[in-house]
Amino acid sequence: MSTSPSPGIPFFTLRTEPDGQQCDAWPEHTLLDSMEQGGIAWPSSCRSGNCRTCIAQLAQGQVRYRMEWPGLTPEEHASGCVLPCVAYPTSDLVLEVPSI
């Protein structure tokens, strides 16, 4: 699991579980944009961190947000839930469909 893109390769790797699909995750693109560009279908609606349609469980890796507090409860945030439409990768990632 990398915490910075490999030299000469300016992107991370994103894998979804349980289906095992994989795509490039670009640091300046949201996870949702990277998944769509990589051909991975993921539910979405508002694309602005409000509706929670895209919610996912971060099984491995780290993300950052450009907004102060995306539409997650503190409990969800602490349990590793992320909103791929407004989250940016800072490492290789594994996303799971959430169990909540």
Using the rule CB under 6 A, give the single segment among 16-24, 38-46, 61-69, 88-96 that binds ligand FES.
38-46
Q: What residues contact 84, with CB distance under 8 A and at least 6 apart?
A: 30, 31, 32, 35, 42, 44, 54, 56, 95
Using the rule CB under 6 A, give the single segment among 5-13, 21-29, 43-51, 72-80 that binds ligand FES.
43-51
| 29 in contact with ligand FES (CB under 6 A) | no
- One-character DSSP codes across 25-43: E-TTS-HHHHHHHTT----
| 40 in contact with ligand FES (CB under 6 A) | no
Tell me how crowded residue 63 is: count the other CB atoms within 10 A of its CB: 22
From the CB of 87, what's the least distance to ligand FES, in Å? 9
Amino acid residing at 25: A
- Interface residues with ligand FES (CB under 6 A) are 44-47, 49-54, 71, 83, 85
